[in-house]
Amino acid sequence: MIKEKTHIFIIDDDESICRSLKILLMTYGFEVNTFLSAEDYFSTGQNVAPDCLILDIHLPGLNGWEALRRFIKSNSKCPVIMISVEVTPGNTKQALQAGAIGYLQKPFTDHALIDLINSALNRKKKDK
């Protein structure tokens, strides 16, 4: 039996963040797609649904909060991890209340991201 790769999508307007996260996640065996805006993500007809979405809060155009609401309204069961450089104590609580499964403040450790992704994927498997 062929095991399918887990698909992680990243939406962040910083190309260097997208590139470094893609390299990191690929070393863990994930298949990774990156998008520089939420509009890019929503406008490209994806053949593969993400298993997990990493979403920056501060994006040009449709910001991360608006994108999260749109993503949830689409009835997607894909877990969303919000990320931001912003130092706001309420962001974690706001992200969880909005429907994300977690929030990480940049810069975050590789370990923190991988642990959160694995936790999200394990929770997703249990919910099936």
pLDDT of residue 82: 97
Q: What domains sit in the chain, N to C, each tagged with a CATH number? A: 7-127 (3.40.50.2300)
Mention every residue, 6+ apart, whose C-beta is less than 8 A from residue 36.
11, 12, 13, 15, 18
Q: What angle do CA 56, 60, 65 make, to 5 degrees?
A: 45
pLDDT of residue 99: 93
pTM of the model: 0.92
pLDDT of residue 128: 63
pLDDT of residue 2: 45
Low-confidence ranges of the chain (pLDDT < 70): 1-3, 46-47, 128
Q: Greatest CA separation found in the chain?
A: 46
